[in-house]
């Protein structure tokens, strides 16, 4: 099957003058199939955020190629990458990144407006799906951390993206709340066939994935499927 994400010999050097040893990514070759739930597992500094930023087209590789749904990100250009991001990708971050001056509803609705489908009922439905009906008019600071992350999940899922990229999605939550958030996020993605990539340094997150990609010093050094993990 055609992978939904493919990288070929992907390198990222933030400091062009330094050698290969200081590169944040050192030749990553990935194939991720549509609908897979993947944990990108590695210590702080191993390159997870760098890789997600490149996959999202938010930053550009020093070398190598990225294809998202068969499209080469470089040849899409800046405008094409922005369009792809708004319509086909969803994001969930460690610190939720909600807009503080917008209500819960408006945070979710904005994502739809940017995707070019301003459907108010879809926004309400996404908030129901994450269990936040009744809290539409609250502001982010009036919610708990777990609730804020559920708004972020609603904001990502509402546009029915092909891919959700989550960077340390439970990094700011206690274990119990984190489990509930992961259950919701991974469950929803499986149900809708959405590809989910979660960058994490927590083994807990890996339990919710079909496949674990282990990152060390800018390389993916090990791949394990969910079944192997349990033995
Ligand atoms: N904007 C940046 N400028 C320079 N170096 C960076 C930048 N972002 C990340 N790095 C470096 O790249 C490496 C990988 O970082 P990062 O992708 O943030 O890893 P992780 O998300 O796994 O913690 C680290 O050595 C980090 O210091
Ligand atoms: Mg990171």
- In the structure, ligand 2 is a single-atom ion and the residues with CB under 5 Å from it are 48-49
User: What is the dihedral sign for C-alpha 96, 101, 105, 109?
Assistant: negative
Question: In this structure, what CATH number is given to the domain that contains residue 218?
Answer: 3.40.50.300
Calpha distance 156→166 (Å, rounded) = 10
Q: Pick the ligand that lies closest to the CA of residue 213.
A: 1
Beta-carbon count within 10 A of 176 CB: 9
Ligand 1 proximity of 45 Cβ (cutoff 6 Å): yes
Flag whether 43 is in a domain: yes
Question: In 3D, which of 30, 3, 4 has the Cα closest to residue 161?
Answer: 4
pLDDT of residue 230: 45
- Tell me, in angstroms, the distance from the centre of ligand 2 to residue 119's CA: 33
Ligand 1 proximity of 44 Cβ (cutoff 6 Å): yes
Calpha distance 39→63 (Å, rounded) = 24
Calpha distance 100→121 (Å, rounded) = 22
Angle at 54 between CA 222 and CA 223, to 5 degrees: 10
* pLDDT in 10s for each residue of the chain, 231 residues: 789 999 999 999 998 776 666 899 999 999 999 999 999 999 999 999 999 999 999 999 999 999 999 999 999 999 999 999 999 999 999 999 999 999 999 999 999 999 999 999 999 999 999 999 999 999 999 999 999 999 999 999 999 999 999 999 999 999 999 999 999 999 999 999 999 999 999 999 999 999 999 999 999 987 776 555 443
Calpha distance 192→77 (Å, rounded) = 29
Q: What does DSSP assign to residue 14?
A: S
Domains in the chain, number: 1
Region class of 212: left (phi > 0), else alpha (psi between -120 and 50), else beta: beta
Flag whether 23 is in a domain: no
> In terms of DSSP H, where are the helices of the chain?
48-55, 73-88, 104-114, 120-129, 145-157, 175-192, 203-206, 226-230
- Tell me, in angstroms, the distance from the centre of ligand 1 to residue 1's CA: 32
* pTM attached to this predicted model: 0.94
The backbone torsions φ and ψ at residue 8, rounded to the nearest 5 degrees and listed phi first, read -125, 115
Calpha distance 144→149 (Å, rounded) = 9
Flag whether 82 is in a domain: yes
pLDDT of residue 22: 82
Flag whether 14 is in a domain: no
Flag whether 1 is in a domain: no
Flag whether 119 is in a domain: yes
Question: In 3D, which of 27, 45, 35, 33 has the Cα closest to residue 216?
Answer: 45
pLDDT of residue 226: 57
Indicate the top mutation candidate among 50, 61, 95, 167 to test ligand 1's pocket, ranked by most ligand atoms within 8 A of CB: 50
Flag whether 24 is in a domain: no
Indicate the top mutation candidate among 10, 11, 13, 14 to test ligand 1's pocket, ranked by most ligand atoms within 8 A of CB: 14
Range of the domain at 197: 36-58+77-230
Ligand 1 proximity of 187 Cβ (cutoff 6 Å): no
Indicate the top mutation candidate among 45, 48, 56, 165 to test ligand 1's pocket, ranked by most ligand atoms within 8 A of CB: 45
Flag whether 92 is in a domain: yes
* Nearest-atom index, ligand 1, CA of 12: 12
Ligand 1 proximity of 47 Cβ (cutoff 6 Å): yes
pLDDT one-digit tens code per residue, 31-83: 999 999 999 999 999 999 999 999 999 999 999 999 999 999 999 999 999 99
- Tell me, in angstroms, the distance from the centre of ligand 2 to residue 135's CA: 30
């Amino acid at each position: 099957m055609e992978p939904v994400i493919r990288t070929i010999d992907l390198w990222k050097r933030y400091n062009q003058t330094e050698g290969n040893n200081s590169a944040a990514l050192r030749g990553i070759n990935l194939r991720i199939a549509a609908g897979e739930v993947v944990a990108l597992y590695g210590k702080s500094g191993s390159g997870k955020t760098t890789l997600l930023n490149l996959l999202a087209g938010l930053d550009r590789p020093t070398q190598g190629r990225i294809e998202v749904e068969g499209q080469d990100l470089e040849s899409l250009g800046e405008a094409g990458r922005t369009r792809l991001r708004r319509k086909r990708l969803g994001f969930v971050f460690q610190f939720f990144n909600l807009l503080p001056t917008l209500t819960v509803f408006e945070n979710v609705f904005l994502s739809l407006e940017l995707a070019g489908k301003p459907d108010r009922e879809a926004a309400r439905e996404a908030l129901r799906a994450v269990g936040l009906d009744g809290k539409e008019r609250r502001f982010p600071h009036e919610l708990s951390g777990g609730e804020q992350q559920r708004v972020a999940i609603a904001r990502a899922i509402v546009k029915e993206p092909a891919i959700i990229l989550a960077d340390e999605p439970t990094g700011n939550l206690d274990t119990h709340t984190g489990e509930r958030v992961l259950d919701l996020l991974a469950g929803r993605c499986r149900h809708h066939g959405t590809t989910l990539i979660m960058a994490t340094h927590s083994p807990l997150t890996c339990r919710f994935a079909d496949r674990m990609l282990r990152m060390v010093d800018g390389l993916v050094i090990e791949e394990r499927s969910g079944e192997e993990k349990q033995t």
